Each structure stands twice: as structure tokens, then as C-alpha cells.
Structure 1
Amino acid sequence: MQPRKTDLAHAALQAHRAPLDLRQRRALILCDGKRDLAELVTLLGDDAPALIARLQRDGYLHVAQPEPAPAAVPDAAPSAAARRRSLVAARIYLLDMLALQRHPAAARLHQLLQATRGEDDTVHALRLALAQLPAMASDGYVGRVRERLREVLPESCLAAVLDTPLPA
């Protein structure tokens, strides 16, 4: 089972006032027709099947059957938490959060983060956005963003992004 976005889902993702919560938006973004349910569970958590089923029932997803793939046996499978962590995932998440802010600085930070390609530039842009987010959003919102980043950032980038202050 490889869920794929419908036209309704594409429209909902572009409209920031769509009746979707953050978790539903994240699931829709990840449902690209290439990931199967097992991968989505790894990325979204154990309740992903129910979330996917609800989005399918509501018309946001349709299910494409997977193409048979040759069976490969991995040498050592990383843990679910390790597979879920990536700098790209953190970047995409923060881009989404900045897009929700109606503040000129958020738009500039969004452009800066979107233009990053290398790890160092991405880490710097993430730090910069987190440093400026409190001026644009409530403390609770900033706390939730920081916690989600703590979940998705690779262990090697956690301290650099979340704990290192920017130079004055």
C-alpha cells in the first residue's frame, strides 16, 4: 500500500487555512506514492495506519499498490528513531512552520532556509530561524517547534542547532 495525494490534498497543503492539523499535513507531505505503510509508520509513528486511513476516507489520499521489489536483507537495520532523524526533515519542518507565520522576517528566514544546500548552511539557517521565532510566535508555539526539531534532527546536529547561541 503506497498512499498518494489527491487533488484535494494538494489544494489543502497549499491553503494554509485548510482543516488539517500539523500531523495530518506532515502525513500528506510524506505520502508521495513511493513510501509504503511500513516506511510511513517509521516516519510518523505507530498511529500512522489510522491517520492514513482517516486521510484516505476524507478524500485526501488514494492508495496505489506497490510494485514488486527484489527482497534485500539489510546488514543491520537502524532503529526507528534513528531512521526518522534527518537534517532534511528538520529543514522541511521548519520551512512549514515559517510559512505559517505572517511576519516579514518569517518570509525572509523561509527564503534563506529554502536556499540552503550544505549541512553547515542549513544548521546556521535553522539556528537563525529559531533565534528569531520568539519575536513572531508565542512561547508555547516556539516550545513545540523546538521539541519537534529535537525529535527529527540528527544527533550530531542537536547541540549546534538547539543549544548553541548565535554570535552577537
Structure 2
Amino acid sequence: MLLNKTPLARNALKAGTDAGLSLLERRILILADGKRSLDTLAGLLGPEILPMIDRLLRDGYLQRDEEAPRAPMRPGAGVAGALTGLLRATTDVLQARSEQIRAETAKPAPAVAVPADLHVQPLAPSASAAATPAAASARQRRSLVGAKMYLIDMLQLQRHPDAVEHKARIQLASGDDALLAALLDGLRVLQQLTPPSYAERIAIRLGEVLPEQWLPALAQVVATSQVPSSDGAGAPALKLVSG
């Protein structure tokens, strides 16, 4: 499925921040040019954009477009089109550069030739050297700040007063313990305001970014939730994987 921006989205991009869209939502609209699929956009911006794409489709900013015909250029639209194209090209270049850096970082160090008559005593691997690259990358992705930003975005999509109240509570929380409590209360609110499958995805994603020491508290909230999952089997069970 290809995604394309609608005239409403183009007007919103021209209006800038006055349109009421977040920075990530504007990036989605910029990249949705009728040539990129849903999977491509999720690969570029992360899986957390899926709820935003659902909302943009419902609100008329995005449309499903199998073969989007090019609209004739309107007088005076050349500058706006050139700026949009430049921004899209810059985004693609940055993404390609990031992938290149990750690929170069993942390359093994070149082997060093050792003379046959040189005896080297092997060293026992340290705990840090034994850690896998995947585990190190997972630790880098986990942070309380990242969990805070993610849940604020999810609450911002809801127009309910409870969501607005808990979003403000998360923003004003001082200290790790207070912030964790606010995050868990915000998750409970989302479980009440959103469909079960949506709430399940939010809980799983939050478990991916929350620091490991807070995962048991998150699992307890999910286990005690009264909101059934999409298959009717109750709240999802989070896998607490160290990494």
C-alpha cells in the first residue's frame, strides 16, 4: 500500500506549526509522496509512527494511493515544490548516511598477521567484550526519557481530558520514581481509552524503550489490566528480556 499526502496535508505543511501537527507527523506527510509504502515509512521513522499514520488517514491528511497521478503544477507552485523536493532529498541522504555509518561500525576489525615464532598468551574475555552487539544496542535504545517522549506522543493523540491530564503529569514529573509512576498511570489511561489491540501495541513498545530495571513494574501493570487483548486472552504478557 502506497501512501500519498492529500491537498489538506499540503496546506498543513505550508501553514507550519499553526496547523497543529507534531514534528513527526509533518515528517510523515513530507515523506508520503505516493511512491513510499507503509513499511518503507515505518522503516525510515520507526514503528511508533503507525498510530500517527492511522490518525492522519482518518483525518484526511493521507490517502492510500496505488498509482498516484501527478497533478498539474499550479502557477506559483514551483518554489514550494522545489523546497519540498529539497527537504525530501535531504531526509533520504541523512537516512542513507546513517545506514552507511551503522554498516561501517558493524564491520569486524581487520586481522593482524602474527609471526609464527611469536607466542601470545590468550586473554580471558572480559564481561564487556562478551556482550553481543545486539545487547549493547538494546541498552543504548532503552532510556526513561525515551519512554517519556513515546507515552507523551501516545497521550497527545487522544482528545480525552484524562489523557491531557496525564500527559501534563508526565511532563512535570520530577525524579525517576515519580516519572515511572506517571508513565504507568498514563498507560492505564490509554488502556481504558483505546481499543485492546492498540493498547497492547503501546504496552509492548513501552517495554522496548523502558530501562530494564523498570520492566517488572510495567509487567505488573499489564498483568493486572482488565482490558482484554485482541485474541480475548487477557492482557499481553511482556517478555522481560535483559539486553
Please indicate, yes or no, whether the TM-score normalized by the shorter chain is above 0.5: yes
Residue type of the alignment partner of 1:127: L
Shift of residue 96 of structure 1?
A: 0.5
Count, aligned residues = 122
Cα shift at 1:163 = 1.4
The answer to whether the Cα contact below 8 Å between 1:109 and 1:125 also exists between their aligned partners in 2 is yes
Asked whether 1:103 is paired with 2:160, we answer yes
- Over 3 Å counting, the alpha-carbon distance change for 1:105 and 1:85 in structure 2 is same
Q: Which contiguous aligned blocks of 4+ residues in structure 1 show a shift greater than 6 angstroms?
A: none
Is 1:81 matched with 2:144? no
Asked if 1:152 is matched to 2:215, the reply is no
Q: Which has the higher contact order (CA 8 A, sep 6+)?
A: 1
| Residue aligning to 1:113 | 170
Which amino acid is the alignment partner of residue 198 of structure 2? Y
Contact 1:109 1:129 (8 Å CA) reproduced: yes
> Structure 1 residues 19, 124: closer, same or farther in 2, change over 3 A?
same
Question: Could you say if the C-alpha distance between residues 96 and 13 of structure 1 is closer, same or farther in structure 2, counting changes exceeding 3 Å?
Answer: farther
Q: Give 1 or 2 for the bigger CA radius of gyration.
A: 2
Q: Which amino acid aligns with 2:202?
A: V
CA gap of 1:11–1:123, structure 2 versus 1, over 3 A, is same
| Equivalent residue number for residue 57 of structure 1 | 88
Opposite residue 124 of structure 1, the aligned amino acid is: A
8 A contact 1:113–1:126 mirrored in 2: yes
* Paired position in structure 2 for 1:126: 183
- Retained in 2: the 8 A contact 1:13–1:25? no
In 2, are the aligned partners of 1:124 and 1:161 still within 8 Å (CA)?
Answer: no
Q: What TM-score does the superposition give when structure 2 sets the normalisation length? A: 0.41
Task: Provide structure 1 residue ranges, at least 5 long, that are not aligned to the other structure.
Answer: 1-7, 28-55, 66-75
Report the Cα distance in structure 2 between the residues aligned to 1:15 and 1:61, rounded to whole angstroms: 22
CA shift, 1:93, in A, is: 0.3
Shift in alpha-carbon separation, 1:15–1:61, aligned structure 2, 3 A: farther
- Aligned CA RMSD, in angstroms, stands at 3.9
In structure 2, stretches of 5+ residues that fail to align are 1-12, 29-37, 48-86, 98-127, 226-243
Q: Render the CA deviation track for 1:80-123: whole Å, top value 9, x for unaligned.
A: 00111111100110001000111111000100001012110011
CA distance 1:140–1:13, shift in 2 (3 Å): farther
TM-superposition CA deviations, 1:36-89 (whole Å, max 9, x none): xxxxxxxxxxxxxxxxxxxx63666875x9xxxxxxxxxx58710011111110
Aligned-residue offset at 1:141 = 1.1
Q: Does the Cα contact within 8 Å between 2:152 and 2:170 map onto a contact in 1?
A: yes
TM-superposed deviation, 1:148: 0.4
Residue in 1 that maps onto 2:150:
93
Partners of 2:207 and 2:218 within 8 A in 1: no
Amino acid at match of 2:215: L
For residue 21 of structure 2, the aligned residue among 15, 31, 34 is 15
Match of 1:135 in 2: 192
